[in-house]
Every structure is written in C-alpha cells, then in structure tokens.
Amino acid sequence: MLSAAADRAVKRLEEEAHSSDPDDWAWKRFNELEMLHPIGREGILKKLLSKSGQAQAGTLFSPRAASHRHGPSERFVANLGDWDKSILLIPAGQSGQPGSEHYTDQFYYWFDGKPIYEPFSDAAEAKVKKHLLTLKPAN
C-alpha cells in the first residue's frame, strides 16, 4: 500500500511539473503567488497592475503562511528596545497609484522576507526622509 501511494505521488508530481526530474518538483513551483489587481486580471493590465507567477515557498501551515492567493497582508516586528529598528513590510508598495515608483516598491522585501526598518523617532525619520507632502485644508 505504501509503495502504491508513493508511485501515485511520483506520477502526480511528474504530471503537474511536466517533468520526471525530481529537481523540478520544488514546492515553490506548485505554489505561485497570484496577487491580482481588481481590474488587472488579464492581458496588459495584469502585467502592469498585478504581481503573478512568483514562485514562493511556504504553505498555509508553515512559518511563511502562503498559498496561491493568500498570504500575510503586512509584517510588523516591534523592537521594544529600539523602536527605530522595528520592521514594517506591506505586500505591494507605499503608493496605490499605478505608474508610481512606489506602487510595488516593497514587494520583493515582503516576498523574500527581507526587513525594512521603520523609523519611529523624529531624528530617525529625518535621516531617511526623501519627500514631504503637506496637506492643507481649503479656505
């Protein structure tokens, strides 16, 4: 029974990977991320607005809890000893505006689990600030 189950598993892996080479059976090949924008599900808009086809590690039951269309919406690690060394990552980027350089500027950090340290103190923020947007109420 165990041999038959193993044979069936190997056959299924060969079919899904389109290869009989076990090196082609890495889990991340079967668990590609599909982060689709509501209007970017197909064609050129998919290429411009969505992140798809990204081979990823993890399962719903592992430290990197992720599936084809599900994953952490944010990662935040608070460093209580030094708040300026806290980590904050979001899946896409700082801007929701397609075409902006910040539309997906955090994606690969989030995807690869690399840290972006978030400044909390005024001094730390002043060191890394690149832009300032001031919003004023209309008269």
pLDDT tens digits, 2-13: 999 999 999 998
H or E element at residue 77: strand 75-77
Q: What value does the mean pLDDT take over residues 93-100?
A: 84
- Greatest mean pLDDT among 5-9, 53-57, 93-97, 109-113: 5-9
Look at residue 29 and tell me whether its pLDDT is greater than 80: no
pLDDT confidence tier of residue 1, bands split at 50, 70 and 90 = very high
In this prediction, residue 132 carries a pLDDT of: 86
Contacts of 38 (CB under 8 A, 6+ apart): none
pLDDT at 82: 95
Q: pLDDT at position 86, please?
A: 94
| Residue 99 CA: distances (Å) to CA of 83, 91, 95, 102, 108 | 32, 17, 9, 8, 17
- Dump pLDDT digits (tens) for 57-84: 777 677 667 777 777 778 889 999 999 9
Q: What is the mean pLDDT of the chain?
A: 86
Range 71-76, long-range pairs (CB < 8 A, 24+ positions): 71/33, 72/110, 75/110, 75/113
pTM of the shown model: 0.65
- Please report which confidence band the pLDDT of residue 19 belongs to, taking 50, 70 and 90 as the band edges: very high
The predicted pLDDT at position 63 comes to 66
Q: What pLDDT does 10 receive?
A: 93
